Amino acid sequence: MSGSPTLYGAVATRGFRRYATYRSATVAGIFTNTVFGVIIAYTYLALWHARPNLGGYGAAQALTFVWVSQSLIMPVGLFGGGIVEEYAERVRSGAVAVDLHRPVPLLGIRLAEDLGRAAYHLLSRGVAPTVVGALAFTLAWPRTAPTWGLFAASVLLAVVIGFAIRYLLGLLAFWVIDTTGFAALLTISQIFFSGMALPLVVFPSGLRALSDALPFRCLVQVPLDVLLREDTGAAALPLIGVQVLWAAALLGVGGALTRAAVHKVVVQGG
Amino acid sequence: MGDALRGYRIIAGSWIRASLTYRASFVTLTLTSVLITFLDFAIILVMFSHLTAFGGFSLSSIAVIYGMSGFSLGMADLLLGNTELVGRRVRDGSLDSMLVRPVPTLVQLAADHFALRRMGRVVQAVGVLGWGVATAGIGWTPARVAVLAGALVTGSVIFCSIFVMGGAFQVFAGDASEVANAFTYGGNTLGQYPFTIYPADLVKALTFILPMAFINWYPALYVLGRPDPFGFPEWLQWASPVVTAGFVVVAGCSWRAAIRRYRSTGS
């Protein structure tokens, strides 16, 4: 059983359109991301003013970090939501039985849908606040096209990893009745250990080592490392490499757990 | 007013009893909420691993500023945070049934699904604030105690007003509920740091146009015994109650206007 590329394409397009329908929600989101961007930009300016070159960043790099990380919040699903709550609800209500009966892999369909959603959020809530940030502050952009290419690849991998993490949390609903607490714990881990709260280059060594061992840094810190280092040679490969490994591992576990969940489901009929 | 409070107590009380039925789940969620807000303060601790002062303020002083803001938002979120759900209620039509019940609509909205676990943020803020006032070397006078205690009340009421205004906005704007977050959670993030890190024009705007500086910044300056870094008059540090009254009036009017103009979706 596997879906055809056309099917996945169609699902991704629907994922894109589903979110593109709510225009006022998009505008509201852009406004909120921009307000937070401005507040965080001033805190980072104060921090880097007191400690120039902290963590190897200059003020322009730190500000770029602020605006690009704001633009990644929605595409990588940093605050959770979406599939997690939807899934937990579908497991509780039993609607998931229908999903599992469809002649296409659940993981693939959900990934395609989420890629469509992420594309929309990147184009709307990603680009718009960054433009405001670039107009209001001096940012540091890469000067070479290959860096942009690598950054695009890194963002795509970040979206896939973000999806895989939330998919695993969604599957948890097969075994745990109430996933609210886990969802909250995951969200805070994503915010703190991804670099969203504060770039990981600023973390003390112990905390840095812990965050390096977790997959969350692939969501924000790694794409920004690719963007800010502007090195498309050997230095960028380990960054992309670690994302590929995490993506493969998390999707692999996701696939295995989906099969386990299928065996767990008892359809009560009715 | 008495009826409204009684209504709130009855509805919120039933939700508290409901949440305490699943005791383990309640404890986990509350502890998670404390942990989440603790990690929020950890950001400032990490920043201070590289600094001795931020914006000219010590870690203890910032703990006072942070705690005042966090407490205010936490209390408002606990009491009125559910007004965030107005948009959803407009969409699914459940706002309609609230309009015909003999309890004020706002009270029903706020008390329905009352979540005692939101105490987590308040508990964390009290901890940070307590540590801050104990270590910041404050020369306590009756006036400073009064300003601190008063600011916790007025700050909470200001954030409550912002939640109500956000709810009123949603009656018109439906999906645009996220705009309110910029002022509630955004306002809290803004107030966690000394305003000296912001440009003077922004501080002026936050004083005279959108007076969010009165939630904690001006009272905190008084409690900490600091002259205004921007050279603004000292009476601003006493003005929070007046500004709060203004917030309440604007919030009340906007909520009434929203309910008067509300048209059911018919679903």
Beta bridge partners of B57: B54
Residue with tokens 């948890």: A172
Ranking B38-42, B144-148, B160-164 by mean pLDDT, the lowest is: B38-42
pLDDT value at residue A1: 46
B142: left (phi over 0), alpha (psi -120 to 50) or beta: alpha
pLDDT more than 90, % of chain A: 64
Name which of B32, B182, B197 is nearest A46 (Cβ-Cβ).
B197
Is residue A228 within 8 A of residue A199, CB to CB? The reply is no
Ranking A5-9, A251-255, B85-89 by mean pLDDT, the lowest is: B85-89
Query: Is residue A270 very low, low, confident or very high in pLDDT (cuts 50, 70, 90)?
Result: very low
| pLDDT mean over A238-255 | 96
Question: pLDDT higher for B31 or A223?
Answer: A223
Smallest CA–CA distance, residue A4 to chain B, in Å, is: 35
Work out the mean pLDDT of chain A and round it to a whole number: 89
| pLDDT mean over A249-259 | 95
Give the list of residues 6+ apart from residue B146 with CB closer than 8 angstroms, or none.
none
- Are the beta carbons of B54 and A47 separated by less than 8 Å? yes
| pLDDT mean over A96-125 | 89
pLDDT value at residue A223: 96
In SS3 terms, chain B reads as CHHHHHHHHHHHHHHHHHHHHCHHHHHHHHHHHHHHHHHHHHHHHHHHCCCCCECCECHHHHHHHHHHHHHHHHHHHHHHHHHHHHHHHHHHCHHHHHHCCCCCHHHHHHHCCCCHHHHHHHHHHHHHHHHHHHHCCCCCCHHHHHHHHHHHHHHHHHHHHHHHHHHHHHHHHCCCCHHHHHHCHHHHHHHCCCHHHCCHHHHHHHHHCCCHHHCCHHHHHHHHCCCCCCCCCHHHHHCHHHHHHHHHHHHHHHHHHHHHHCCCCCC
Mutating which of B27, B35, B50, B203 best tests the A interface, going by the most A Cβ atoms within 10 A?
Answer: B50
Give the list of residues 6+ apart from residue A117 with CB closer than 8 angstroms, or none.
A15, A16, A18, A19, A82
* Residue A82 reports pLDDT greater than 70: no
User: What digits encode the pLDDT tens for the residues A87-103?
Assistant: 777 887 878 888 887 88
Q: Does A214 touch chain B (CB under 8 A)?
A: no
Report the complex ipTM. Answer: 0.91
- Are the beta carbons of B178 and A51 separated by less than 8 Å? no
Q: Which residues of B touch A18 (CB under 8 A)?
A: none
* Residue A33 reports pLDDT greater than 60: yes
Mutating which of A26, A31, A43 best tests the B interface, going by the most B Cβ atoms within 10 A?
Answer: A43
pLDDT more than 70, % of chain B: 99
- Are the beta carbons of A184 and B25 separated by less than 8 Å? no
User: What digits encode the pLDDT tens for the residues A126-149?
Assistant: 999 999 999 999 999 988 888 899
| pLDDT mean over A172-177 | 83
Q: Which residues of A touch B51 (CB under 8 A)?
A: 47, 50-51
User: What digits encode the pLDDT tens for the residues B177-229?
Assistant: 788 899 999 999 999 999 999 999 999 999 999 999 999 999 999 999 999 99
Nearest to B181 by CA among A41, A28, A196, A190: A28
pTM of the model: 0.91
Highest mean pLDDT, choosing among A107-111, B11-15, B141-145: B141-145
Smallest CA–CA distance, residue A39 to chain B, in Å, is: 6
Q: Which residues of A touch B22 (CB under 8 A)?
A: 178
* Residue B115 reports pLDDT greater than 70: yes
